[in-house]
Structure 1
Amino acid sequence: MDQKTKDSMILLEHLPFATDRGIAEKARIGLIVLATDYTIEHEWRRIMTDLKGVALYHSRILNDAQITPETLRAMEPRIAQSADVILPGADFDVIAYGCTSASMAIGEEKVFERIREVRPHVECTTPITAAFAAFRSFGARRIGVLTPYRADVNRIVANYISARGFTVPVFGSFNEEDDNIVARITPKSIKDGILAIKKRAEIDAVFVSCTSVRLAEAAADIEREIGLPVTSSNHAMAWHALRLARYEEKLPQWGKLFTLPLTA
């Protein structure tokens, strides 16, 4: 700015202002997304975009596209850094870690510890944490499970769910270990897998595991067809994050779960 401009311009500095929570008036939610995930951001945006006062922020965490117990556990040391780079220094209501199988391979409490190394006292969730909360809100004990994983990862999933007081009478899998391929499994294939599970055993609800799988937009229609509540990693965790942030509005277009409160 030259001297002539300075001399001719009225300059107003240090004007008074007030602050609020910005676009996160009701909830500020952080999400750690796998580097290989194509799906979770799309499904969470679809669910949350029209929720006034809810703000979603995310980062990515390096992972291997090949889903094995070893590659899943290798993510643990990277979780804190991925949580730290989401609006550094800002307060969050909830931070979610977006990998279902890793949450079981590492352990939910270990995931929460890593997040809270850099975000003390924040509410945390993972897809399996959210799934358990969903089962309780559904009043469901007998869970039909559908996954894309290979056999050794499936054993971790089945054992983890069963060890926490739920029964898994039927377990279906596409047995695909490449996350890039899992993201392209068609919604019809997912629905057909759910229908096959429903036919094989008496169950109270269906859980589709893996954040790369596309289910959220079809959940309500599938529920109407099979007469049972249905949820998935992304679907359950979006609901759980909202409820942990005390966002209680009902969103029936996303299925039964989004009409329910958290159950203690």
Structure 2
Amino acid sequence: MSANLAAARLASSGPIDLGVLPSELDGGLASRAAIGLAILATDQTLEHEFRALVRIPGVAFYEARVFNDNDVTPNTLRAIGPRIAPCVDLILPSIPLDVVGFGCTSATMMLGEEAVFAEIRKARPGVACTTPVTGALAAFKALGVKGIGLLTPYSPKINEGLVAYFTGRGLDIAAVATFDRRDDREAARISLASIEAAAEKMAAVPGVEAIFISCTSLRVAEAVAGLEQRIGIPVTSSNHAMAWHCLRLAGIDDVVPAGGRLFGLPASRTPA
């Protein structure tokens, strides 16, 4: 502190007013890409897994929550549809986003990807969109696989719909299994050991070229690379595939260390 300032401070009963100081604006946390996420109110996992996977300087994600019921049924999934746009509207209003992801696999399947995109674009016209289903389809294409092992926590009825959805898009679901945990609060607590054991069993089925672990509540993204090494085929999940697709749609082609095979691959730049 200069002598004059020191003297002024001693003589004053309040702070020394330094006035308006110069400042510069940089690109902020999202100088390379801003990702918006519409996440289910009950989801305990998606943000944790995105934090583990999206660790690239200049790339940031911002989220809002959409109400959903704890029980996963066709009716509760369809009810989410009209709530998507108001949720997306809460993500950084007036600040541009490069891509918006909707974080529910089963609701995307029930509503259809185009219907989900239409809801997102009510709030963000023209934005690139993705979902766990969209990300998975892009991932399978990038990996060059069609024979899929599908592991979920859903009811058999929901699984039937997901199998039909993927089959209708040219995939061969060579194996399917469920933990049958229909309460989203329980799905988030399925242990990693249980998921890995199920994936290892599924990988032994003839025709399975890759494993897709469906549901944003399931915790597996951080373990994908090690699991792939053990079973010898690619592995992805709802959060894992959507995080990768968000980055690629936003033009971020960086390789994510320990992200597994998928995070070393590019994807089509055609916006979803």
The Cα of 1:18 is off from its aligned counterpart by 4.7
1:231 to 217, 233, 236: 236
Alignment of 1:5-154 (within 5 A): 12=19, 18-48=24-54, 50-154=55-159
* Structure 1 moving runs of 4+ over 3 Å: 8-13, 15-20
Alignment of 1:100-249 (within 5 A): 100-249=105-254
* SS of equivalent to 2:141: helix
Letter in 2 for 1:47: L
* SS of equivalent to 1:38: coil
**In the aligned structure 2, how far is the partner of 1:261 from the partner of 1:40?**
22
**In the aligned structure 2, how far is the partner of 1:10 from the partner of 1:205?**
64
Structure 2: 5+ residue stretches without partners: 1-11
RMSD: 1.9
When normalised by structure 1's length, the TM-score is: 0.93
The Cα of 1:19 is off from its aligned counterpart by 3.4
Contact 1:215–1:232 at 8 Å: present in 2 too? yes
**In the aligned structure 2, how far is the partner of 1:73 from the partner of 1:83?**
17
Contact 1:149–1:176 at 8 Å: present in 2 too? yes
Deviations 1:45-74 (A, max 9, x none): 1112x3110111101000011001110010
Contact 1:136–1:263 at 8 Å: present in 2 too? no
Deviations 1:99-128 (A, max 9, x none): 000001001111111111111111110000
The Cα of 1:249 is off from its aligned counterpart by 0.8
Letter in 2 for 1:52: P
Contact 1:140–1:204 at 8 Å: present in 2 too? yes
Count how many residue pairs are aligned between Structure 1 and Structure 2.
259
* SS of equivalent to 1:97: strand
**In the aligned structure 1, how far is the partner of 2:29 from the partner of 2:203?**
42
Letter in 2 for 1:204: E
Letter in 1 for 2:204: K
**In the aligned structure 2, how far is the partner of 1:223 from the partner of 1:107?**
30
**In the aligned structure 2, how far is the partner of 1:173 from the partner of 1:189?**
11
Note closer, same or farther for the CA distance 1:20–1:163 as it changes in structure 2 (3 Å cut).
same
**In the aligned structure 2, how far is the partner of 1:232 from the partner of 1:79?**
22
* SS of equivalent to 1:201: coil
Structure of greater Rg: 2
Letter in 2 for 1:134: A
Structure 1: 5+ residue stretches without partners: none
When normalised by structure 2's length, the TM-score is: 0.90
**In the aligned structure 2, how far is the partner of 1:22 from the partner of 1:56?**
12
Letter in 1 for 2:75: E
Letter in 1 for 2:251: R
Q: Once the two structures are aligned, what percentage of the paired residues are identical? A: 48
Partner residue in 2 for 1:259 = 264
Letter in 2 for 1:24: A
